[in-house]
Chains A and B, each alone.
Chain A
Amino acid sequence: MQTIVSQTSPPKKSVLYDPKVRGAFYQVLLVLTVGYLFYMAASNAVENLQRAKIASGFGFLNNTAGFDVSQTLITFSAAGSTYGDAFIVGLLNTLVVSAIGIVLATILGFTVGIARLSKNWMVAKVSMVYVEVLRNIPLLLQLLFWYIAVLGPLPQPRDSIGFGAGVFLNSRGLFMPRPLYASDAWVIGTALILGIVGTIVFRRWARKQQEQTGQQYPVGIITLALVVGLPFVSWLVLALVGTNPISFDMPQKGTFNLRGGMQILPEFVALLVGLVTYTAAFIAEVVRAGILAVSKGQTEAAGSLGLRPGQTLRLVVVPQAMRVIIPPLTSQYLNLTKNSSLAVAIGYPDLVQVFMGTVLNQTGQAIEVVVITMGVYLTISLVTSFVMNIYNRRVAIVER
Chain B
Amino acid sequence: MSTAIDTSRFVQHNQIEALPPPNLARGPIAWVRENLFSSPLNGLLTIFVFYLLYVIVPPIIDFLFINAVWTGTDRDACRAETAGHRIGACWAFVIDKINYFTYGSYTISERWRVNIFFLMLAVGVTWLLWLRAPRRDLGALYFFWLFPTFSYVLLTGGNMDLGGGFWVGFVVVSALFIGAFAAMAYLLKVSVKSGAAIGAGIIAVIGITLALMDFDFGLDHVPTSLWGGVLVTLLVATVGIVFSLPFGILLALGRRSKLPIVQLASVIFIEFVRGVPLITVLIMANTMLPLFLPAEMTVDRLARPLIGVAFFASAYMAEVVRGGLQAMPKGQYEGAMSLGLNYPQMMVFIILPQALRIVIPGIVNTFIGLFKDTSLVSIVGIFDLIRTIEASRIDPNWAAPTISYTGYAFAAFFYFVFCFGMSRYSLGVERRLAAGQNR
Q: Is B truly associated with A?
A: yes
| In contact, A149 and B9 (Cβ under 8 angstroms) | no
* Residue ID in chain A nearest B390 by CB atoms: A144
| In contact, A141 and B36 (Cβ under 8 angstroms) | no
Nearest CB of chain A from residue B271's CB, rounded to whole Å: 8
| In contact, A141 and B405 (Cβ under 8 angstroms) | no
Instruction: Identify which of A27, A118, A345, A370 contacts B379 (C-beta below 8 A).
Output: A345
| In contact, B280 and A356 (Cβ under 8 angstroms) | yes
| In contact, A51 and B295 (Cβ under 8 angstroms) | yes
| In contact, B35 and A145 (Cβ under 8 angstroms) | no
| In contact, B284 and A148 (Cβ under 8 angstroms) | no
Q: A119-B42, A306-B12 are in contact. Are A44 and B372 (CB under 8 A)?
A: no
C-alpha spacing A133/B405, complex, angstroms? 17
Q: What string of 1s and 0s marks CB contacts (under 8 Å) between B244-267 and chain A?
A: 000000000000001111100100
> Does A377 make an interface contact (CB < 8 A)?
yes
Q: What is the size, in residues, of chain B's interface with A at 8 Å between Cβ atoms? A: 63
> Does B176 make an interface contact (CB < 8 A)?
no
> Does A289 make an interface contact (CB < 8 A)?
no
Across the interface, which residues of B come within 8 angstroms of A306, CB to CB?
11-12, 16
Across the interface, which residues of B come within 8 angstroms of A41, CB to CB?
292
| One of A168-176, A206-214, A229-237, A266-274 contacting the partner | A206-214
Please classify the interface of chain A as helix (H, G, I), strand (E, B), loop, or mixed, using the class held by over half of its residues.
helix
Across the interface, which residues of B come within 8 angstroms of A45, CB to CB?
291-292
> Which residues in chain B, 191-237, are within 8 Å of chain A measured between CB atoms?
none
| One of B46-54, B128-136, B160-168 contacting the partner | B46-54
C-alpha spacing A45/B289, complex, angstroms? 9
Instruction: Identify which of A34, A342, A377 contacts B275 (C-beta below 8 A).
Output: A377
> Does B189 make an interface contact (CB < 8 A)?
yes
Q: A132-B420, A342-B376, A360-B287 are in contact. Are A141 and B386 (CB under 8 A)?
A: yes
Across the interface, which residues of B come within 8 angstroms of A378, CB to CB?
272, 275-276
| In contact, B420 and A26 (Cβ under 8 angstroms) | no
C-alpha spacing A48/B294, complex, angstroms? 8
> Which residues in chain B, 408-424, are within 8 Å of chain A measured between CB atoms?
408, 411-412, 415-416, 419-420, 423
Q: A119-B42, A141-B408 are in contact. Are A16 and B188 (CB under 8 A)?
A: yes
| In contact, B9 and A123 (Cβ under 8 angstroms) | no
For chain A, which range describes its interface: under 10, 10 to 19, 20 to 34, or 35 or more residues?
A: 35 or more
| In contact, B9 and A366 (Cβ under 8 angstroms) | no
Across the interface, which residues of A come within 8 angstroms of B277, CB to CB?
338-339, 341, 352, 377
| In contact, B419 and A137 (Cβ under 8 angstroms) | yes
Q: List 15 A-B contacts (CB under 8 A).
A: A27-B261, A44-B291, A44-B292, A44-B294, A119-B35, A120-B38, A132-B423, A136-B420, A138-B386, A144-B386, A144-B408, A210-B9, A338-B276, A352-B277, A370-B283
| Chain A residues proximal to chain B, CB less than 8 Å | 14, 16-17, 23, 26-27, 30-31, 34, 40-41, 44-45, 47-49, 51, 118-123, 126, 132-133, 135-141, 144-145, 148-149, 152, 210-211, 213-214, 305-307, 315, 338-339, 341-342, 344-345, 352, 356, 360, 366-367, 370, 373-374, 377-378, 381-382
| Chain B residues proximal to chain A, CB less than 8 Å | 7-12, 16, 35-36, 38, 42, 45-46, 49-50, 52-53, 187-189, 258-262, 265, 272, 274-280, 283-284, 287-288, 290-295, 368, 372-373, 375-376, 378-379, 386, 390, 404-405, 408, 411-412, 415-416, 419-420, 423
Q: A145-B412, A342-B279 are in contact. List 19 more A-B contacts (CB 8 A).
A: A14-B188, A26-B259, A27-B262, A40-B292, A44-B292, A44-B294, A121-B36, A126-B53, A132-B423, A136-B415, A141-B415, A144-B386, A144-B408, A149-B408, A305-B10, A315-B10, A339-B277, A352-B280, A366-B287
